[in-house]
Structure 1
Amino acid sequence: MNARLQSWLGDQIQTLKDQNLYKVPKILETAAGGRVRMNGKEVVNLASNNYLGLANHPNVVAAAHEAIDRWGVGAGAVRWIGGTMSVHEELEERLAKFKHTEAVLVFTGGFTANSGTIPAVVTDKDVIISDELNHASIIDGVRLSAAKYKKSEGYVYPHKDMEALEKILQNTQSFEKRMIITDGVFSMDGDIAPLPTIVELAEKYDAFVMVDDAHASGVLGKNGAGSTSHFNLYGRVDIQLGTLSKALGVVGGYIAGSAVLKDWLINRGRPYLFSTAHPPMVAAALIAALDVMENDPEPMRRLWDNTRWWKAALNEAGFDTMGSETPITPVYVGDEGKAQEMERALWEEGVYALAIVFPTVGRGKARIRTMPSAAHTQADLEFALQAFKRVRDRLS
């Protein structure tokens, strides 16, 4: 291998280590749950997006097994070439009904849904107006587009600042199309976008709205239908992104909207055009997960009971949860080195919770991100709380 490349990579990794930004993934050795075994150790898992515990729900697992017996383990092709199976069509129809939209198009992931959709719906005559704390997949999708988008040019508004958003809309009326894009739930802070105001401003200034509901799916709205349902904004959000890998427990992402939007993305959404279709067992498992979400309120009730308890207990113990409104519950630390040290100390105590550091969040804004779920018992959360207290006292 090229010596110069290897030397450069080694230097970059050392820089990450020196800045307390270096990460090594741990290995999960059991099914996802509230308690798991990782790297040979049993821990309370506070780092999973498996909000409703559906990743190993018996109905979901059974549906995947049945699909393997019927269709095998692979679709065999990109969807437009010949990889679209009836189970893929059924999943999209179910999701469209669930989201109260005309149509849904499924992508292999939420990241690819953003990176495929954003460049496909704007041109060099358009502008994208974005919240400064939007997810990395939104940022990368925006960068792939030909539209104007740069913060330095005034097209990124401070987090949830609606006055700033309105000023940008007033100053961009010469563009052909203007797209406002926001997370529904912000993935590192756990707060909810002011979607009603965003929609009202978009309607006032003839812009359109895209909302990334990755962390609202299965968490907010009727049966977990997301932030549009939560705010009763049916029919007023032009493009909705949802994820299939968090609350639904499997893998993938989708775009919900109009039938003509779906038709356009089938023809011009590059990740859709050039990615092999999901294995049929994935689609079948997702349909089963939707069945659970729509017909069994217990997982969502447990999720929110655990979320309320966990936030209240952390706040009472003196931890700063940064105003989180959803299960995503950050514990503010600030310094990157201290956050990494806290992660290691929690691991020693039997709790897996990740330090989130730059560039995922701004420099000096490190935090431990915790994720209570329906899979946790009260005993799991009590155990984790005591571990947080001991680590805090030990590390001052």
Structure 2
Amino acid sequence: MADWLAALARRADLRAKAGLTRRLSPRTADDAVVDLAGNDYLGLSAHPEVVAAAAKALSEYGLGATGSRLVRGSTGAHHALEETLADWLGVDRSLVFSSGYLANLGAVRALVRPRTLLVSDAHNHASLIDGCRISGAETVVTPHADVDAVATALAAAPDRPAVVVTESVFSVDGDLAPLARLHATARVHGAVLLVDDAHALGVVGPTGAGAVAAAGLTGEPDVVVTATLSKALGGAGGVVAGPAEFVRHLVETARTFIYDTALPPAVAAGVHAAVGLARDGDGLRAELAARAALAVDRLRAAGLDVSAPDAAVVSVTAPGPEAATDWAAACRETGVAVGCFRPPSTPDSRSRLRLTIGAGPSRADFERALEVIVECAP
């Protein structure tokens, strides 16, 4: 075996010994498990209106966008989605990317000017971390949700442009960032606040417009919002939303927008339909909140260490990476899919199951899934 392949094999062996092996597990279209691992919070991915809108666009445009947005990839479906997202989020403009990951990379890089300081929460998603790294800007990582630490970092660089970078609902434990306090702190120091609203869009806030809206920050000129379109909206892609001048800057400079093939028009059309359903989905959001509270009550009553969710993500601590893997596998064998998060995917080196509460399964199936999680606990 070539030396470089042997080195990779040794590294894989070390990961296996640490319980960190990852495997692809394909599912079928008729998979009957109760899904507490995916991010289809509102159950819209297979909604008849969403599927019909996507199918119509598929028949009109074909499978792919055929090019980047600035060449041949922009269609009426993309522009209609961007206008609707901007209206929903209460901003000047929005711009759709082919993934939430690329949206975050593009947004962070576009906010960086010479001497910019990035102040990033320790629990931020990998896409935000990579955006900070790729930007080349100095980055200060502050303790999780610590507004005082953010203020200290900003005060230490009074003459430099700065950006405070955070998720709203954090993807691992599901807790909510103190957005109003972060914004007030950023404004005092003349900094921009960048919020990844991926796990809040469609789930919290007035008409499901996200945690930024819930914090009363809609349309603020020093706030930029990013989100995926693959969670509560059940599709794919990402969005950056904010002041018109910033979105124009993205169109003209963001490499992850300019040099990437556009989101397929059928997906854009399906997501557009999903936005309409999400905006009118107060009943679904109430059901999500009730289910999240029920999950915490049932799992804590069984003696498990469970996070208190601010949206629809519930984190359950496991004794270690191997125990987490075995626990998730046992649940899967009993018909329940749960997320399994282990280092390095966790910001605190703690392994856990991550439950993403959805409105799709019946209440009876959901309650049975909670019983399975307790029964399979190590």
TM-score of Structure 1 vs Structure 2, range by shorter chain: over 0.9
* Cross-structure match for 2:198: 214
* Cross-structure match for 1:387: 372
Report matched runs for 1:1-396 at 5 Å. Answer: 3-30=2-29, 37=31, 42-149=32-139, 155-175=140-160, 177-236=161-220, 237-362=222-347, 364-392=349-377, 395=378
CA contact (8 A) 1:311 1:321 kept: yes
Greater shift in the superposed pair: 140-149 or 5-14:
5-14
Q: 1:362 Cα shift?
A: 4.3
**Helix, strand or coil: the match of 1:180?**
strand
**Helix, strand or coil: the match of 1:26?**
coil
Task: Name structure 1 gaps, 5 residues minimum.
Answer: 32-36, 150-154
Residues 87 and 389 of structure 1: CA distance in aligned 2, closer, same or farther (over 3 Å):
closer
Deviations 1:248-306 (A, max 9, x none): 00100000001111111011110110111111111110111011112343332322222
RMSD: 1.5
CA contact (8 A) 1:190 1:324 kept: yes
CA contact (8 A) 1:184 1:193 kept: yes
**C-alpha separation in 2, matches of 1:263 and 1:218:** 26
CA contact (8 A) 1:67 1:284 kept: yes
Which residue type is aligned with residue 6 of structure 1? L
Q: 1:378 Cα shift?
A: 1.7
**C-alpha separation in 2, matches of 1:202 and 1:363:** 26
Identity in percent: 34
**C-alpha separation in 2, matches of 1:148 and 1:282:** 36
**C-alpha separation in 2, matches of 1:388 and 1:382:** 10
TM-score when scaled to structure 2? 0.96
CA contact (8 A) 1:123 1:146 kept: no
**C-alpha separation in 1, matches of 2:115 and 2:304:** 47
* Cross-structure match for 1:34: none
Q: 1:166 Cα shift?
A: 1.2
Q: 1:235 Cα shift?
A: 2.5
CA contact (8 A) 1:343 1:355 kept: yes
CA contact (8 A) 1:109 1:252 kept: yes
**Helix, strand or coil: the match of 1:368?**
strand
**C-alpha separation in 2, matches of 1:227 and 1:334:** 32
**C-alpha separation in 1, matches of 2:349 and 2:125:** 19
TM-score when scaled to structure 1? 0.92
CA contact (8 A) 2:201 2:210 kept: yes
Which residue type is aligned with residue 88 of structure 2? F
CA contact (8 A) 1:334 1:364 kept: no
Q: 1:363 Cα shift?
A: 6.0
CA contact (8 A) 1:110 1:243 kept: yes
Residues 207 and 334 of structure 1: CA distance in aligned 2, closer, same or farther (over 3 Å):
farther
Q: 1:350 Cα shift?
A: 2.2
CA contact (8 A) 2:122 2:347 kept: no
Which residue type is aligned with residue 74 of structure 1? G
Which residue type is aligned with residue 352 of structure 1? A
Residues 364 and 131 of structure 1: CA distance in aligned 2, closer, same or farther (over 3 Å):
closer
**C-alpha separation in 2, matches of 1:364 and 1:85:** 44
Q: 1:24 Cα shift?
A: 0.8
Deviations 1:46-67 (A, max 9, x none): 1010000010000000001111
Task: Name structure 2 gaps, 5 residues minimum.
Answer: none
Which residue type is aligned with residue 211 of structure 1? V
**C-alpha separation in 1, matches of 2:95 and 2:300:** 41
**C-alpha separation in 2, matches of 1:170 and 1:22:** 42
CA contact (8 A) 2:111 2:163 kept: no
Q: 1:165 Cα shift?
A: 1.2
**C-alpha separation in 1, matches of 2:247 and 2:348:** 39
Which residue type is aligned with residue 216 of structure 1? A
CA contact (8 A) 2:74 2:262 kept: yes
Which residue type is aligned with residue 226 of structure 2? L
Q: 1:89 Cα shift?
A: 0.9
Deviations 1:99-143 (A, max 9, x none): 000000110011000111211220341110011000000000000
CA contact (8 A) 1:238 1:257 kept: yes
